[in-house]
Chain A
Amino acid sequence: MIKFFLMVNKQGQTRLSRYYEHVEINKRATLEAEVVKNCLSRSKDQCSFIEYKDFKLVYRQYAALFVVVGINETENEMAVYELIHNFVEVLDKYFSRVIMFNLDRVHIILDEMVLNGCIVEMNRNRILAPLFVLDKVAES
C-alpha cells in the first residue's frame, strides 16, 4: 500500500501532498522536511529506495522537483518507481507549463491513478478523461 505521495522541490517546499493514511498536520510538516532531507542527501549514483522508519521511500528527481512516495513493505518498489514516471508523463501531457497554479487538477490526476493507496489506473486516456470533461464544463 502507498502511504503518501509527495512532490517537493529542492528548497524543501511541498508542491503536492496526498496522504492515504491520516497523519496529523504538524507531523506532516516534519515528515516532509525529513523526507526531503533524505532525498537531497543522496547522489545520483545511489538507489532510489530509502528505508525510512518503518516504511520505504521511493523517489525520483525531475530537475528541481522530487516526487517521493512512501510505501509499506508489501508494495513492489519497482512498480512504484514506474508509477512515478507514469504520473510525471501524464502531467507533462496535460499541462503545458507550470503545474503549481493547478494544484486541484493535479490532484484529480493523482486520484485517478492512485486510490486508497492502491495503484488503479495507468492508461493515460482514462486518467485524463474526467479532466477533459471538467474542462468542457468550464469552457461552456
Chain B
Amino acid sequence: MALKMVKGSIDRMFDKNLQDLVRGIRNHKEDEAKYISQCIDEIKQELKQDNIAVKANAVCKLTYLQMLGYDISWAAFNIIEVMSASKFTFKRIGYLAASQCFHEGTDVIMLTTNQIRKDLSSPNQYDTGVALTGLSCFVTPDLARDLANDIMTLMSHTKPYIRKKAVLIMYKVFLKYPESLRPAFPRLKEKLEDPDPGVQSAAVNVICELARRNPKNYLSLAPLFFKLMTSSTNNWVLIKIIKLFGALTPLEPRLGKKLIEPLTNLIHSTSAMSLLYECVNTVIAVLISLSSGMPNHSASIQLCVQKLRILIEDSDQNLKYLGLLAMSKILKTHPKSVQSHKDLILQCLDDKDESIRLRALDLLYGMVSKKNLMEIVKKLMIHVDKAEGTTYRDELLTKIIDICSQSNYQYITNFEWYISILVELTRLEGTRHGHLIAAQMLDVAIRVKAIRKFAVSQMAMLLDNAHLIASNTQRNGICEVLYAAAWICGEFSEHLEEANQTLEAMLRPKVTTLPGHIQAVYVQNMVKLYASILQQKEQAGEKEAAQEITQLMIERLPQFVQSADLEVQERASCILQLIKYIQKLQIKEIPVAEEVIALFAGELNPVAPKAQKKVPVPEGLDLDAWINEPPSDSESEDEKPKTIFHDEEQRHSRHRQPEIDEEELARRREARKQEQANNPFYIKSSPSPQKRYQDTPGVEHIPVVQIDLSVPLKVPGMPMSDQYVKLEEERRHKQKLEKDKKKKKQKKEKRGKHHRHNSLHTESEEDIAPAHHVDIITEEMPENALPSDEEDKDPNDPYKALDIDLDKPLADSEKLPVQRHRNVETLKSPDTEAPLVEQKSKKPKKKEKKHKEKERDKGKKKEKKVVEEEEEKKGEDLDFWLSTAPPPASTAQPQSEPEVGAAVVAEPQGVKKEEREEQEEEEEDEGKKSSKHKKKKHKKEKEEKSKDKKKSKKKSHPSEEETTESVQNGTLDDEPLPPMSSYRLLAENPYIKTTYDIQGNLQNDSQVTVSVIFENKSTSFLKSMELNVLDSLNTKMLRPEGSSVHDGIPVPFQLPPGISNEAQFVFTLQSIVMAQKLKGTLSFIVKNDEGSTHEKLDFKLHFSCASYLITTPCYSDAFAKLLESGDLHMSSIKVDGISISFQHLLAKICFHHHFSVVERVDSCASMYSRSIQGHHVCLLVKKGENSVSIDGKCSDSTLLSNLLDEMKETLSKC
C-alpha cells in the first residue's frame, strides 16, 4: 500500500509540467516559498534522470522559477545537456534557459563552444536560429573569438531568417571581440543592400549602434544610407536610419544640408508619430550642426517647432511628453523660436503628470532672459508652495537655482532679489538641497561685491532665526544654509549693522545641536565677528563694551570646547585661549584690536573648481615616480604608499555630509587667507571684474533705486521677493522713460549721434540695466592653466575598443581565426627563408602599433602612403557625393569599388581641382536655378573645402619626399635631392596629355594598379573618355563583371579646359619576370563652341619589371641569411660615366626601382626589394670614381637580368 503511494507520487512528480507548476504556485499562496523549494527538490531529482525529455521538462520549469527570482545557476550543466539534445523541442528549452541565466561569469559556458558551433551549422534553420538567439544573450569574449568566423559565414546564409539573426548577433560579437569588426565589416556593409528587408533592417540596426558610438568611421556609408532612406518604406528601418544620420551630421555639415529636404518631406507626409518624432529629432541635430551658414533653415526650425507644438497640445500625454523632450533640444541652439511658446510651457507646469512637469522645467531653464527671469521664478516659487511630494519640490528648488545661476548669473539683474529668493527657499522643510542654497549664498556673496551688505543683513537674520531653520532634528538638510550664513556674517562682518546681536545669536546654546561641520564654521566666524566688534569698540573708545564682549566670548565658548566633534573642539579651545590672552591685554589696557583683526585681513578671491586640475605639470616632474622606494610586498594591499591621495579621500568620506567639499574649500580658503595676509610677498591680484554692465550706454546716468529694506527684513520668513518683482517693473519703466527722454534730448542736440541709440528703440535684453552696479568676479585659475577639457572622457568606455578605422584595407593578420588542422600550417610555407617570412607577416601589425624604427621602414611609409591615398579616395567619394545635386541617382555610381572600376583619386594640383569643382558646381546651379545668394555661399564653402584639401595634399607631398630621403639612412651628407617623379609619359596630342605610374598591389600577387593622369591641354571640354587596352595572354586589364575583353573602361570624370585628373586601372598578370608592353587607345569627345568631335589617342603601356617590385624593408641579418641560403641566381652590371653623388644614385634606385637600402658603408650599399609574387631581389651597389657596379641576386634569373637592364638604362641617363 505504502509502496504504491510512493510510486504514485513519484509518477505524479515526473508528470508535473510547467502548467502544473504555475497552477501549483497559485494554489499555494500562503506557503509559496515552501512549495517552490519542494518543487526545486523534485526538479533536482528529475535532472538526475537519463531521459532527456524529463530533463527538458525540468529545465523548462527552472526557467520559470528563475523568472520569479530563484537562482538556478546550479543547474547550468544540466542546461547545457538539454541544449545539446538533438530534438529541436528540447534544444530550444535548453537555449532559452541558457539565455536567461548564463552570463560572462558562468564558468561552464566554455563547454558550449563546440555545441553551439554544431548548431550554427545545422541544416535546420531553426536550430541555427535558436543558437543565434541564445548566443546573443550570453556571448563571452572567448565565444565571440571562437565563433566570429562561423557567424560571419552565416551572414551570407541562403535563408534570410538566418542572415538576419547572424547580422544582429555580430554586434554583440564586435563588442566582446573588437578585432572582428574590421574583417566582418565589408560583409556587414553588403547586407545593407540585402534583397530581404528584414536582413537589411538588421544591418541598419547594427551599423546604427556602431556608428552612434564612433560616428566618424561610418561617414563613408552616408551615401548608401541616404539611398536606403529615400527608397525604404519600412518605418522601423527609417527610424533607425534617420537616427544614424542624426549621429553623423555633427561631423559633416554638408550631409545635413542634403538631409533637410527629404526629412522635411517626411515630416509633412508621415502619419506615424514615432517617425515624425525621429525626423524632428534629426532635423534638430542637423540644424545644430549647421547652426549658421544655411540661409533658409529658419523655415525648418519653424516647421519643427510648429509640429512639436501640435504634439504638446495633444491630449495624448505621451505625445506631450515627447514634444517637450524634443523642444528642449531645439532650445539649445534656437532659444528664440522656443521662447515664443512660453505660455504653452508654463501651462505644462500645471500638468497632472510629473514627468511632463519635469520636462517643462527643463525647458524653462533655457527660456529665461533678463526680462522674464523674475516672472518665471515667481511662477516656480508658487509651484514650490503647491508641490506635493518632496522629490518634485526638490527638483523645483534645484531648477530655480540652476535657472538663476546659469552662465555666471547672466540673467540676474537684481541680486537683492536673488538673495531674497534664496532666503525664501530656506523655508522649505525636508529638502535635501540645503547645501545647494548654501553654496549659492556663498558664491553670490563672494563674487558680487555690491551685494555683500545686503547679503550680510539677510544672513544675520537667518542666524537670528536659526531656531526656525534647525528646528527639527539634525537630519534636516536645510540647516546647511546656516553654514553659509555664519561664514558670510563672519567674513564680511564690516557690513554688519548689529554685530553684537549676531554674535550673540551665534553663541546660543542651541547651536551645539547643529552638525559638527556647521558648528566649526560658527566658531571660526564668531572670532572674525568678535575681532571686528573689538575694533569698532576700541575705535569708539568704549573700553568697557570691548571687555564685555570678550567676557561674553569667554563665558560661551566652553560649550564648544566640550563638543564631541574634534574639529569644533580644537578650534574652540584654540580660540578660547586666544581670547583669554586678549582679555589679559585688555585688562592691561593695551589696544589689541588691530592685531586681532590682522588675523583675518585680506581679500578672498573665488577659485574655479577645476583650478587644481588645470595646473600644468612642471617640466621634469614625473608624478608617477616613487618619492621613496616602494615598500616590500608583504604589506597588505590597501596600505600601499600610492594611497596618499586615497587617504585623504577616506578622511573626507568620514564626514557623512555630501557637502563636505564646500566645508573643506571654505576651510582652505580661510587657511590661505591667513597665509596670504601674513605673507608679505603675496601679490594680491586685483580681481578682474567683468564689466559687462558698464558697457551699457548711459548706465551711469541711471539713478539707482534705493530700496527700503527695513520693512521686509524685520519680518522673518515672509516672502519678499515679490516686492522686488514689482520694484523691478517700476524701475524698468522709469529707466525706459529716462532713456526715452535722453534719446529725445540727444536727438535734438546731436543728430549725428542718433544712430548709436537706434538699438534702444526696441526693448531688448541689453536694455535692462541692473539695479546695482555689479561686479561678478570671475573665478581664479592658476597661471598658465591648460585649456584642455579632457577630464570629461571616460577611459573605461567599452565602446572605445570599437573605434576602428574601417576604410583601411584589411591586413592578413586581422583575418578571423578559422578552425583548421595543424598540419595545414606546416605544409603551407616550405620557404627556406623562414625568418624573412615571419618578419613580413608581422609587419602590418607593427605598422599600426609601433612607431619605432621610423628611419628604417621606408617601405612601411610607402604602405602608409597607399593607405592614405585610399583613405583620401574614400573621402573624395563622399565629397563627390555630398557636392552633387541630385542625390539618389548619383549615389550608387561613385561608390563602386576602387579596385574594379576606376575611382577618382586626388590629383596633385589642388588649385586646378578647385577650379574644376567650381565649374562642376556652376553646371549644377544652372540646373538647379537656385538663388544667387545661396550660390555664393555654396561656393565659398567649397573654396574653403578645397583649400583644406590643398593643405592635406601638401602634407602628403612631404611624405613622398620622406620616402626618398629616408634612403640616406642616417648618412651625414644632407644634400637636397632633385625632385623626382615616377610618372612617365604615356601619350600626348594637342588635346590631351597622359602620364602614368604603375604600382604593385599589396593585397594581390597578380595585380598591379596603373594610375593615369589625364591633362586637358586644349580649350575645349573633354568628355566620354574611355580607355581600352589590347590584352596580351599574360597581362589583362581588369574590367567590370559582365563586360567583354574588347570593351573599354570609361574614365569616371570629364575634363574642363586646363584641368587634370587621375584615374586608376587594375591589371592582372601571370608572369612578372619580363617587362611587357600593351597597346591601347584612349577615345574621347572634344566639345567646344563649334560642336563636338570624336578623337582617339593611341599609346603603349610599358610594364617595366621594376613596377612589379614593392618596396619592402629588410633587416641586415635577414638579408645576410638570404644571401647565404645560396638559392639565388646572380648577375651583375657596370655602368661608366656616373657623375652624380652616391646618395642621389641610391635615391634614384629606390625611387624608380622600388628598392630599399639595407645597409650602407661608405660608397657601398646593399639593397633589397621584393616582387608582388614574392621574388627576393638583393643588390650590392658599389661606386667607383666614375662608375657604378651593381651585383644582383634574385630567386629568378630572368627577372634579375631584366631588372638590371632597366637599372642600367636609368643610370646611364645620369
Interface residues of A (CB under 8 A from B): 1, 13-14, 16-20, 22, 25-26, 28-29, 32, 42-43, 45-51, 74, 76-79, 81-82, 100-101, 103-104, 107-108, 111, 115-116, 118-122, 126, 130, 133-134, 137-138
Contacts and interface: CB of A to CB of B under 8 A. Distances in A.
The 10 A-B pairs at the shortest CB distance, nearest first, are namely: A78-B274, A47-B317, A46-B353, A29-B69, A79-B274, A101-B19, A47-B321, A22-B103, A118-B205, A116-B136
A47 B320 CA distance: 8
Contacts of A25: 66, 69-71, 73, 101
Given A47-B355, A76-B243, 15 more contacts: A1-B209, A25-B101, A26-B71, A46-B355, A51-B355, A74-B209, A74-B243, A76-B239, A76-B278, A107-B96, A115-B133, A118-B168, A119-B205, A120-B205, A134-B88
Nearest to A126: B198
Interface of B: 18-19, 22, 60, 63-64, 66-71, 73, 88-89, 92-93, 96, 100-101, 103-104, 126, 129, 133, 136-137, 164-165, 168-169, 171-172, 198, 201-202, 205-206, 209, 212, 236, 239, 243, 273-274, 277-278, 317-318, 320-322, 352-356, 358
Nearest to A111: B133
Contact of B202 (A20, A120, A122): A120
Contacts of A1: 209
B239 A116 contact: no
Residue with the highest number of chain B CB atoms closer than 10 Å, among A26, A29, A47, A108: A47
Contacts of A13: 68
15 contacts: A14-B68, A18-B100, A19-B100, A26-B71, A32-B69, A42-B353, A43-B352, A47-B318, A49-B355, A51-B358, A77-B277, A79-B236, A108-B92, A115-B133, A121-B198
Given A47-B318, A48-B317, A137-B89, A122 B236 contact: yes
Given A78-B274, A101-B22, A103-B63, A20 B137 contact: yes
Given A47-B320, A51-B355, A104-B93, A120 B103 contact: no
A79 B318 CA distance: 12
Contacts of A51: 355, 358
Nearest to B129: A130
Chain B interface, DSSP helix/strand/loop, else mixed:
helix
A111 B136 CA distance: 10
Nearest to A7: B67
Contact of B353 (A20, A47, A126): A47
B385 to A, nearest CB: 22
A101 B19 CA distance: 5
A100 B273 CA distance: 32
A78 B89 contact: no
Nearest to A17: B67
Given A49-B318, A120-B168, A122-B236, A78 B133 contact: no
Nearest to B21: A101
Contacts of B202: 118, 120
A88 B859 CA distance: 62
Given A49-B321, A115-B168, A78 B19 contact: no
Contact of B212 (A18, A19, A74): A74
Contacts of B93: 104
Contacts of B126: 130, 133-134
B177 to A, nearest CB: 15
Contacts of A48: 317-318
A77 B278 CA distance: 10
A138 to B, nearest CB: 7
A51 B236 CA distance: 23
Contacts of B18: 101, 103-104
A78 B1169 CA distance: 62
A18 B172 CA distance: 16
Contacts of A22: 103-104
Contact of A116 (B88, B168, B236): B168
B67 A119 contact: no
Nearest to A103: B64
Contact of A104 (B96, B317, B320): B96
Contacts of B278: 76, 79
B318 A14 contact: no
Contacts of B70: 25
Contacts, number: 131
Contacts of B356: 46-47
Contacts of B239: 76, 79
B92 A16 contact: no
Given A25-B66, A45-B352, A120-B164, A78 B198 contact: no
A77 to B, nearest CB: 6
A25 B70 CA distance: 7
A115 B136 contact: yes
A7 to B, nearest CB: 10
Given A25-B101, A78-B274, A104-B93, A45 B353 contact: yes
Nearest to B234: A122
Contact of B67 (A76, A103, A126): A103
B797 to A, nearest CB: 14
Contacts of A111: 133
Contacts of B129: 130
B693 to A, nearest CB: 39
B1054 to A, nearest CB: 43
A28 B69 contact: yes
Contacts of B66: 25
Contacts of A107: 96
B277 A78 contact: yes
Contact of A46 (B92, B96, B171, B317): B317
A98 B321 CA distance: 34
A130 B358 CA distance: 44
Residue with the highest number of chain B CB atoms closer than 10 Å, among A20, A29, A74, A126: A74
Contacts of B322: 49, 77-78
A50 B356 CA distance: 10
B275 to A, nearest CB: 8
A108 to B, nearest CB: 7
A122 B236 CA distance: 9
Contacts of B201: 120
A72 to B, nearest CB: 10
Contact of B277 (A14, A76, A137, A138): A76
B168 A16 contact: no
A109 to B, nearest CB: 12
A39 B1 CA distance: 54
A78 B96 contact: no
Nearest to A47: B317
Contacts of B68: 13-14
B318 A81 contact: yes
A130 B132 CA distance: 14
A100 B21 CA distance: 11
A122 B234 CA distance: 10
A121 B199 CA distance: 10
A53 B104 CA distance: 24
A58 B103 CA distance: 25
Contacts of B88: 134, 137
Contacts of A133: 126
A85 B267 CA distance: 23
Given A78-B318, A104-B18, A104-B92, A46 B243 contact: no
A116 B66 CA distance: 20
A133 B164 CA distance: 19
A66 B239 CA distance: 26
A35 to B, nearest CB: 13
Contacts of A49: 318, 321-322, 355
Residue with the highest number of chain B CB atoms closer than 10 Å, among A28, A115, A137: A115
A111 B67 CA distance: 16
A46 B67 contact: no
A104 B355 contact: no
